[in-house]
Amino acid sequence: MSNTPLDSIAVVTVSYNSGSHLRGFLSSIRSRESADITIVVADNGSADLAQARRACTEFSATLVELGANFGYGGAINRAIATLPTNITSVLVSNPDVQFGGGAIAALVRALDEVPGAAAVGPRVLNADGSIYPSARELPSLRTGVGHALFGRIWRTNPWTIRYLSDFSESAARRGAGWLSGSCLLLRRSAFEAIDGFDDAFFMYFEDVDLGYRLGKAGWTNVYEPVSVVTHTGAHSTSTESARMIKAHHKSAYQYMSRKYSSWYLAPLRWVLRAGLALRATWLTRG
């Protein structure tokens, strides 16, 4: 049992034309977790705002209408800023996530039991029941360059294997370099101490950057497989639009270039930028 009372926990999600997912998302929290837990939906200027309003009214969630698209991390930051001070833990989640019974309680328990943890992530399942790699090592410049250059033409190269390696097959709680932003519980004090998500990452890699900065600040990221959620959205870049693929590769370079900003690493950054641009071109051409 967790020592953290439910009235100190909030669930925050972001909606951008996601009204069709919200009802199922909110229902899974209310029916399987708690009828009283605080839920906030940050809307990034959706065209289906009326649908989001209806779902929030039905399930007693607060809708924060941002009026513009601030990206995922930016919207989360603004939603968390609206929470009262008694909220000490925040579950950040995509609106197309379904929670298994006791999933939130298991995350809260793990956060209680690991005092140095700033973030706890669940086992994330795809809609077909396969495990999504939601807990990984932080990518390095060397693995990033190798993956960017060879990932498309030599899928079993050592850099790609390391880049994609994750801990999600583990049956035991363990540390991770970063956790998927699709669903993770955050210690609010740690999150706010590093100024939350970096708004500069409009889409993709905001969760990698968050895990990196939390680690630099002395906190740990923890994978808790006892907690199980299902992410019904598509994860494969093969199903994404060309715009999404380009955004992903742009954010990847942004993260790596910031992490490895020393002047003497400039040649590697140039190679990485070229490799990522080439890879994005390959992917968008199919």
State the pLDDT at residue 133.
87
State the pLDDT at residue 152.
67
Domain match, 77 and 89 both? yes
Instruction: Identify which of 118, 113, 84, 122 has the alpha carbon closest to the alpha carbon of residue 229.
Output: 122
Let me know if residue 193 belongs to a domain. Answer: yes
Q: Which domain, by its residues, includes 207?
A: 6-133+168-235
State the pLDDT at residue 238.
39
Which of 89-93, 95-99, 276-280 is predicted with the least confidence, judged by mean pLDDT? 276-280
Let me know if residue 282 belongs to a domain. Answer: yes
Residue 21's CATH number: 3.90.550.60
State the pLDDT at residue 257.
81
- Model confidence pLDDT, tens digit, residues 27-83: 999 887 666 799 999 999 999 999 999 999 999 999 999 999 999 999 999 999 999
Question: What radius of gyration, in Å, describes the C-alpha atoms of the chain?
Answer: 19
State the pLDDT at residue 237.
34
Whether residue 237 contacts residue 245, with contact meaning beta carbons closer than 8 Å, is answered with: yes
Domain match, 33 and 152 both? no
Domain match, 127 and 151 both? no
For residues 81-93, average pLDDT: 97
Let me know if residue 190 belongs to a domain. Answer: yes
Domain match, 159 and 148 both? yes
Q: Total structural domains in the chain?
A: 2
Let me know if residue 216 belongs to a domain. Answer: yes
Let me know if residue 160 belongs to a domain. Answer: yes
Domain match, 53 and 149 both? no
Band (141; pLDDT cuts 50, 70, 90): low
Q: Rounded to whole angstroms, how far apart are CA atoms 44 and 83?
A: 18
Let me know if residue 272 belongs to a domain. Answer: yes
Q: Rounded to whole angstroms, how far apart are CA atoms 159 and 58?
A: 48
Domain match, 70 and 119 both? yes
Last residue within a domain, chosen from 198, 216, 235: 235
3-state percent helix, strand, coil for the chain, nearest multiple of 5: 45, 20, 35
Q: Which residue has the higher pLDDT, 166 or 267?
A: 267
Domain match, 87 and 216 both? yes
- Model confidence pLDDT, tens digit, residues 116-135: 999 999 999 999 999 998 99
> Residue 155 above 80 pLDDT?
no
Domain match, 48 and 148 both? no
> Residue 245 above 70 pLDDT?
yes
Domain match, 196 and 270 both? no
For residues 223-251, average pLDDT: 75
Q: Rounded to whole angstroms, how far apart are CA atoms 71 and 183?
A: 16
Residue 207 Cα distances to 7, 61, 194, angstroms: 26, 24, 13
> Residue 204 above 90 pLDDT?
no
For residues 7-35, average pLDDT: 88
Domain match, 45 and 155 both? no
Let me know if residue 1 belongs to a domain. Answer: no
State the pLDDT at residue 2.
61
State the pLDDT at residue 36.
78
State the pLDDT at residue 234.
47
Domain match, 173 and 266 both? no
- Model confidence pLDDT, tens digit, residues 169-193: 778 999 999 999 999 999 999 999 9
Percent of the chain with pLDDT over 70: 88
> Residue 286 above 70 pLDDT?
no
State the pLDDT at residue 282.
77
Domain match, 102 and 221 both? yes
Last residue within a domain, chosen from 235, 255, 270: 235
> Residue 244 above 90 pLDDT?
no
Let me know if residue 196 belongs to a domain. Answer: yes
